[in-house]
Structure 1
Amino acid sequence: MITTPAMPKASKRRRKTRTSNVNHRPPVIASQLKVNEIGLTPGKEHLVCPDCSTWVPITGMLGTPKLVPHHTGRAKTAEPRRCTAGSNRPVTIDVEADALRTQLIEAVPTTASRRATKVLPKPKVKPAPATSQVKPAPISAEQVSRAFRQHQQQCLACKGEAKNRNGQTLPCPDGERLAVTVLRLLRQEPKRQAVREFFARERRRFDRQYAAAAPAKRASEWAAVQVSVSDADAARKLLPHGDRPADGPSLPEEPQDVEAFHRRQAELGRHARNGGPAEGAPVQPKCANCGTTELNFVRAAAAEWCQILRRTHCGRCAGRFPAWMRTQF
């Protein structure tokens, strides 16, 4: 029985090693590492190996701290390459765990402020029109009268309840302005009504003119295209019944000479079964429509060539004809 050897994988990094080997490279200085590249939690000391950039436990904290032997890949993965430059490398712990934890806590808000926030799409607001494009809405005497009545109900000066130190009633400039506007609009209302009636009469007159001119305009438009329509109808009547457009050959719906047609089809089939070409046909078959040639009739039959109206057609051109007209080789 043949067994397949297991693929080697990176081993799990043990926190406590029993080897006394020490790497002779310069030690790793803890104070020179970034705050997020070292952790000094008691019993779980670890840092990022400067050579392979992987998290490695620190052993020998009570004696000579050093990095444990490790692989460059993650544990249990197919990367069993040993980090010879960083394994057993001494570590100099020149910072305290509490100070390191404080620095890490203080760096969290700073990091969060630098992190990009979620981009929210802004609502599409229609731009405001320019001052020259703003059209003032016409005001009517009824609207201003309604606003004047509401003002009188809310204004103390208009009610006569607002008085100065001498007991005199204070006037209301807003109420006076609204009253003047109401009187002006009431005085101009007959003239405005006459202008509105004039425009309404003109609009109705234009509508009657357009309605009266519509039949003549429609007749002139039809006369402009009548010549083209008549030419198209005449050209269509000249075509035989069942004829195709100019992009393909004519297709008669029924053969003109049924007996001659069946006799010719039987003759072509007999010559095709005997392996030779029909009488009057070329030795090398050639499509009568597109001019494509084939090496012999055997290859032509394999390519679905057919005889149609005593002419040879390739498989692509033969597909344009009805099935009753196609005779296989």
Structure 2
Amino acid sequence: MITTPAMPKASKRRRKTRTPNVNHRPPVIASKLKVTEIDLTPGKEHMACPDCSTWVPITGMLGTPKLVPHHTGRAKAAERRRCTAGSNRQITIDVQADAVRTQLVEGAPTAASRRATKVLPKPKVKPAPAASQIKPAPLSAEQVRRVFRQHQQQCLACKGEVKNRDGQLLPCPDGERLAVTFLRLLRQEPKRQAVREFFARERRRFDRQYAATAPVKRASEWAAVQVRVSDADAARKVLPRGDRPADGPSLPQEPQDVEAYDRRQAELGRHARTGRPAEEAPAQPECANCGTTELNFVRAAAAGWRQVLRRTYCSRCADRFPNWMRTQF
């Protein structure tokens, strides 16, 4: 039995090492690293290796700080391959642990603000009506009075605080226009009220008249409908079976010329039994319903003959079928 040796995995990185080996490459400056690439928590100093981007413990913090020998992959999971360029590399700690922690805390809100926010649907707003569709609202004396009072409270000219060079008070054209409009509407209010009452009385009178005439109108409409329904029933009873009560020609259920139809069917059956080719069939077309014949198919096509369900019909018999069933030769 042949056993396959297991592939060696990356070993666990020791936090403290007692090796005097030092990497010949220049040391890594801690102040030039990003805040997210180094952790100077006392007793848990770690740093991302600049060569393999693997988080590696820092040893020798009291003497010569350097990265511990490590593999490039994750411990106990990845392939066992030593990071030769980054192992035992010296580190120059020129920053304080508190400063690194402060920068990391201050950068967290900035990173959170860069994240995509939830997309909120825009409210559906109805399109604004055209200028010809806008109906102006009628003004009332009370509305103009409220606008006038609000204008007086905000306008300095209406309060008497604006003067010219001669010391005379300057009038306010807006306040004067609102006052004139208010007085005009106040004089017209009795007439407007009378017009509104007149239209209200007419509306009530129309509603009463409509309610009184509605039953009579409904009865007359129903009587007219009953007459049309009875006429349609009578016309339907007069028509033979298979016909339709319409303006167009009816569709017969049985052939009009039974003898010609039987003769045609017998001839078609004889052709099917003898197996004669199509060129030996009779050259004169014959209507499958009425038995009418034509000299040839060219004259039949010119006369409006059509094929319905692979049968030949003259123009009169073919018109009784719908258009989607009729095909030309």
TM-score (norm 2): 0.47
